[in-house]
Amino acid sequence: MSQKWNLQDIRPAQPRKRRTVNQPSTEQAQKQSTQSEQESPINEHKNIPNVVIEDGNKKGKSRLLLSVIVFVVIVGGATALSAILGKTELTIYPEFREPNINAEFTAYPDQRTDSLSYEILTLEATSEAQVEASGQVQIEEQATGMITISKVTPGAERLIKNTRFRTPEGLVYRIQESVVVPGAALNEAGSLSPGTIQAEVFADEIGEEYNIPAGTSFDIPGFQEGGFTALYEAITAESNQVFTGGFDGPQFQIDEAELSTARQSLQIDLRNNLLARIENEKPANFVAYPNAVAITYNQLPAVEYGQDLVTIKEQAILQIPLFQNTELGSFLAQETIATYEGSPVRVDDPSALEFNYTSATTSQSVIANATSLSFNLTGKPLLIWEYDIESLKGDLITLPKTAINNAVLAYPGIDGARVRITPFWQRTFPEDPEDIIVVEELKQPE
């Protein structure tokens, strides 16, 4: 039989003892209370937190001053950074064309409406060589040279063959062929520019004294003698280079074959020398085509060099027409582009055109005497429309960069433009036009 349990059976028979807490006696409590009262002020003083009293006005002023300093530093730094790193780059897309050209053209030494004009560049050089002489012969020769005839009044004047020209010393020369001296014409400044033409002359008498220097002035005694005072005062002339060839006396005789070989060698050297000078001596912004040169040679009197040797001298005179680049470009645009409206156009690379005279003999003549020059031009030049970039930069200063599209509308030679300004927070063009960097591109980006 199983045994039954109840709660009393599982409780301990004796009640649990409570844990006693040691409490101080009344005397001890009073003692501790007295001690606590004595120590309380000290303990309370030790536990009181420190309180700092600040001046609110001073603190606010300090913060404001710090903010101002920080602001000035930031703005000053940004300004300095802009000055150091800032850049304004203006990309211009000019109008351009590349026409195929293969045609004959005619140019004139004076300005004419809808025509191409040119200027003549004249270069001169001499060279010498020693050759063996076979004897002497008596020589009597007249000096020759080139003069520029000028007329300072309007209206052309024809001068017949053998018209006399006189130096201040009384030496007389005559023109070899008849010439027409153009009258003075109005220039771009509104004043009269003299009409000019060049002519070959020869001395009226033989002798070395007629070998005059370049820059000698001349008048026309026939006008003075005939009472044509106005023409006498209006038409004058000046020598272009030293006159040569005048001689009266014995001259060395040289074997023809040897002389021909020596002269040919001198002429080659002279030609190369003169061709090398063209690029350096032509004015800026003018175009000179090598195939356009015309060279004439003059044999100068030989002089004794030593026993059985003589020094021969050769003179070469090079003349070449020069075309102003913008005038040439505008003329070609006028002749080849149907939509051309007359704006100035430049030839980007003149060497893209090949120049050849229509007549082969032109390159061996004195082209300064010609009233016009006919030639063929062949090639595909790049013609670029001109525009006043300095004026455009002046229009843009201090404007917002978005103004560029409206600004270029006033310049017909510009198809479009783009501007890039750094740093990114700079939104206007600089105050100084020189700070605007211009880059030219022929094709706009897609």
Burial class from Cβ neighbours inside 10 Å (0-12, 13-18, 19+) for residue 368 reads buried
| Tokens matching residue 326 | 């913008």
Q: For strand 185-186 and strand 101-108, is the pairing parallel, antiparallel, or unpaired?
A: unpaired
Q: How far apart are CA 173 and CA 145, in angstroms?
A: 9
Residue 396 CA: distances (Å) to CA of 346, 404, 435: 25, 7, 11
Residue 284 CA: distances (Å) to CA of 108, 278, 281, 322, 407: 20, 12, 9, 11, 30
Q: Which neighbouring-strand residues pair with 147?
A: 199, 239
- Say what the pLDDT of residue 78 is: 57
- Say what the pLDDT of residue 93 is: 93
- Say what the pLDDT of residue 82 is: 54
Q: How far apart are CA 17 and CA 24, in angstroms?
A: 21
- Say what the pLDDT of residue 95 is: 93
- Say what the pLDDT of residue 119 is: 94
- Say what the pLDDT of residue 77 is: 61
Q: Is residue 167 within 8 Å of residue 218, measured between CB atoms?
A: yes
Q: Residue 292: name the closest of 234, 368, 227 by CA.
A: 368
Instruction: List average pLDDT for each run of 10 residues in the chain, which is 446 residues long.
Output: 46 50 50 50 52 56 72 63 70 94 94 91 92 81 93 94 96 95 85 91 94 94 95 94 86 81 94 94 94 91 75 92 96 94 93 94 86 95 93 90 88 90 85 90 67
Residue type, 315: Q
Q: How far apart are CA 137 and CA 133, in angstroms?
A: 11
Q: How far apart are CA 415 and CA 410, in angstroms?
A: 11
Average pLDDT, the chain: 84
Burial class from Cβ neighbours inside 10 Å (0-12, 13-18, 19+) for residue 205 reads middle
- Say what the pLDDT of residue 27 is: 52
Contacts of residue 298, defined as CB under 8 A and 6 or more positions apart, other chains included, come to 144, 244, 245, 314, 315, 316, 317
Burial class from Cβ neighbours inside 10 Å (0-12, 13-18, 19+) for residue 392 reads buried
| Rg of the chain taking only CA atoms, in angstroms | 50
| Secondary structure (H, E, C), 382-412 | CEEECCCHHHHHHHHCCCEHHHHHHHHHHCC
- Say what the pLDDT of residue 253 is: 76
> CA torsion, points 273, 279, 280, 286, in degrees to nearest 10?
140
